[in-house]
Protein backbone atom coordinates (compact mmCIF):
# COMPACT_ATOMS: atom_id res chain seq x y z
CA UNK A 1 0.00 0.00 0.00
CA UNK A 2 1.36 3.43 -0.90
CA UNK A 3 1.90 5.68 2.06
CA UNK A 4 0.56 9.21 2.12
CA UNK A 5 2.31 12.27 3.49
CA UNK A 6 0.29 13.77 6.35
CA UNK A 7 0.81 16.54 8.88
CA UNK A 8 -0.61 15.96 12.33
CA UNK A 9 -0.70 18.75 14.88
CA UNK A 10 -0.51 16.87 18.16
CA UNK A 11 -0.46 18.74 21.45
CA UNK A 12 0.52 21.89 19.57
CA UNK A 13 3.42 20.35 17.65
CA UNK A 14 3.40 19.59 13.93
CA UNK A 15 4.53 16.15 12.84
CA UNK A 16 5.06 15.28 9.19
CA UNK A 17 4.62 11.56 8.65
CA UNK A 18 4.11 8.93 6.00
CA UNK A 19 1.02 6.87 6.79
CA UNK A 20 -0.62 3.93 5.10
CA UNK A 21 -4.22 4.75 4.14
CA UNK A 22 -5.53 2.11 6.59
CA UNK A 23 -3.43 3.18 9.59
CA UNK A 24 -5.50 4.43 12.50
CA UNK A 25 -4.83 7.58 14.46
CA UNK A 26 -4.40 5.43 17.59
CA UNK A 27 -1.68 3.37 15.92
CA UNK A 28 0.05 6.49 14.67
CA UNK A 29 -0.03 8.21 18.05
CA UNK A 30 1.21 5.18 19.95
CA UNK A 31 3.66 3.62 17.52
CA UNK A 32 4.96 6.48 15.40
CA UNK A 33 4.83 9.37 17.87
CA UNK A 34 5.33 7.22 21.01
CA UNK A 35 2.42 8.87 22.82
CA UNK A 36 1.34 5.79 24.71
CA UNK A 37 -1.17 7.55 26.96
CA UNK A 38 -3.72 6.83 24.25
CA UNK A 39 -4.77 3.27 25.05
CA UNK A 40 -5.93 0.65 22.58
CA UNK A 41 -8.72 -1.40 24.06
CA UNK A 42 -11.53 -2.89 22.01
CA UNK A 43 -10.38 -1.30 18.72
CA UNK A 44 -14.01 -1.10 17.52
CA UNK A 45 -15.09 2.15 19.18
CA UNK A 46 -16.96 0.69 22.15
CA UNK A 47 -14.70 1.29 25.16
CA UNK A 48 -13.39 4.84 24.70
CA UNK A 49 -9.92 4.07 26.04
CA UNK A 50 -8.45 5.54 22.83
CA UNK A 51 -10.35 8.83 23.13
CA UNK A 52 -8.44 11.91 22.00
CA UNK A 53 -9.66 15.39 21.11
CA UNK A 54 -9.76 16.30 17.43
CA UNK A 55 -10.40 20.00 16.99
CA UNK A 56 -11.70 19.95 20.57
CA UNK A 57 -14.17 17.11 20.08
CA UNK A 58 -13.74 13.64 21.62
CA UNK A 59 -13.15 10.93 19.03
CA UNK A 60 -12.30 7.25 19.21
CA UNK A 61 -8.85 7.29 17.66
CA UNK A 62 -9.18 3.58 16.83
CA UNK A 63 -11.92 4.53 14.33
CA UNK A 64 -10.25 7.60 12.82
CA UNK A 65 -7.70 7.06 10.10
CA UNK A 66 -4.49 9.01 10.45
CA UNK A 67 -5.06 10.52 7.00
CA UNK A 68 -8.45 11.83 8.20
CA UNK A 69 -6.72 13.61 11.08
CA UNK A 70 -4.24 15.38 8.83
CA UNK A 71 -4.57 19.12 9.31
CA UNK A 72 -6.61 18.74 12.50
CA UNK A 73 -5.57 19.74 16.03
CA UNK A 74 -5.16 16.57 18.10
CA UNK A 75 -4.91 16.63 21.89
CA UNK A 76 -3.81 13.52 23.74
CA UNK A 77 -3.58 12.99 27.48
CA UNK A 78 0.08 14.03 27.26
CA UNK A 79 -1.05 17.47 26.10
CA UNK A 80 -3.58 18.23 28.84
CA UNK A 81 -1.25 19.16 31.70
CA UNK A 82 0.80 22.35 31.55
CA UNK A 83 4.34 21.34 32.43
CA UNK A 84 4.25 19.75 35.87
CA UNK A 85 0.84 21.29 36.62
CA UNK A 86 -1.94 18.75 36.12
CA UNK A 87 -5.20 19.86 34.55
CA UNK A 88 -7.93 20.38 37.20
CA UNK A 89 -9.74 17.28 35.88
CA UNK A 90 -6.62 15.18 36.40
CA UNK A 91 -6.15 16.57 39.92
CA UNK A 92 -9.77 15.91 40.81
CA UNK A 93 -9.65 12.35 39.46
CA UNK A 94 -6.77 11.59 41.82
CA UNK A 95 -8.33 13.43 44.79
CA UNK A 96 -11.64 11.58 44.43
CA UNK A 97 -10.15 8.11 43.93
CA UNK A 98 -11.59 8.01 40.43
CA UNK A 99 -8.44 6.37 39.06
CA UNK A 100 -7.81 2.72 39.71
CA UNK A 101 -6.22 0.62 36.98
CA UNK A 102 -5.86 3.74 34.84
CA UNK A 103 -6.70 2.17 31.50
CA UNK A 104 -9.83 4.26 30.93
CA UNK A 105 -8.48 7.38 32.62
CA UNK A 106 -6.94 9.17 29.60
CA UNK A 107 -10.18 8.88 27.63
CA UNK A 108 -12.29 9.89 30.63
CA UNK A 109 -10.11 12.93 31.28
CA UNK A 110 -10.21 14.08 27.66
CA UNK A 111 -13.98 13.62 27.44
CA UNK A 112 -14.38 15.63 30.66
CA UNK A 113 -12.00 18.36 29.48
CA UNK A 114 -13.99 18.71 26.26
CA UNK A 115 -17.24 18.95 28.22
CA UNK A 116 -15.90 21.60 30.62
CA UNK A 117 -14.56 23.64 27.71
CA UNK A 118 -18.13 23.88 26.41
CA UNK A 119 -20.22 23.71 29.60
CA UNK A 120 -18.41 25.28 32.58
CA UNK A 121 -21.00 24.15 35.15
CA UNK A 122 -22.48 20.88 33.90
CA UNK A 123 -25.17 18.96 35.73
CA UNK A 124 -24.91 15.33 36.69
CA UNK A 125 -26.79 14.21 33.57
CA UNK A 126 -24.57 16.27 31.26
CA UNK A 127 -21.44 14.77 32.81
CA UNK A 128 -22.77 11.23 32.52
CA UNK A 129 -23.76 11.85 28.90
CA UNK A 130 -20.32 13.27 28.06
CA UNK A 131 -18.63 10.24 29.62
CA UNK A 132 -21.06 7.68 28.17
CA UNK A 133 -18.59 6.63 25.47
CA UNK A 134 -15.94 5.73 28.05
CA UNK A 135 -16.20 2.43 29.88
CA UNK A 136 -14.67 1.85 33.32
CA UNK A 137 -14.59 -1.60 34.82
CA UNK A 138 -12.96 -0.64 38.15
CA UNK A 139 -14.43 2.41 39.85
CA UNK A 140 -18.02 2.54 38.83
CA UNK A 141 -18.85 6.03 37.71
CA UNK A 142 -19.90 7.97 40.80
CA UNK A 143 -16.35 8.96 41.81
CA UNK A 144 -15.59 9.98 38.24
CA UNK A 145 -18.72 12.16 38.06
CA UNK A 146 -17.86 13.72 41.42
CA UNK A 147 -14.33 14.44 40.20
CA UNK A 148 -15.65 16.23 37.11
CA UNK A 149 -18.08 18.25 39.25
CA UNK A 150 -15.23 19.22 41.58
CA UNK A 151 -12.98 20.18 38.67
CA UNK A 152 -15.76 22.32 37.21
CA UNK A 153 -16.23 24.20 40.48
CA UNK A 154 -12.46 24.77 40.86
CA UNK A 155 -12.17 25.97 37.27
CA UNK A 156 -15.05 28.41 37.78
CA UNK A 157 -13.32 29.96 40.79
CA UNK A 158 -10.01 30.47 39.02
Instruction: Tell me, yes or no, if the two domains 4-79 and 88-157 fold the same way.
Output: no
Query: ∠ CA(135), CA(138), CA(141), 5° rounding?
Result: 60
Q: Which CATH class is domain 4-79?
A: alpha beta
The pTM assigned to this predicted structure is 0.95
62-102 tens-digit pLDDT: 999 999 999 999 999 999 999 999 999 999 999 999 999 99
Reported as half-sphere exposure (CB side, CA atoms, 13 A), residue 87 has a value of 22
21-73 tens-digit pLDDT: 999 999 999 999 999 999 999 999 999 999 999 999 999 999 999 999 999 99
Whether residue 158 has pLDDT greater than 80: no
Fold classified for 88-157: DNA polymerase; domain 1 (1.10.150)
Amino acid sequence: MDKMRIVLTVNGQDHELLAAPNRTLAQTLREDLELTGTKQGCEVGDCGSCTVLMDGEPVNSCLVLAVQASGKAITTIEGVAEGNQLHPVQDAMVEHGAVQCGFCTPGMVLSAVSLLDKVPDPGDGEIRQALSGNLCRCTGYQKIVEAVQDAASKMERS
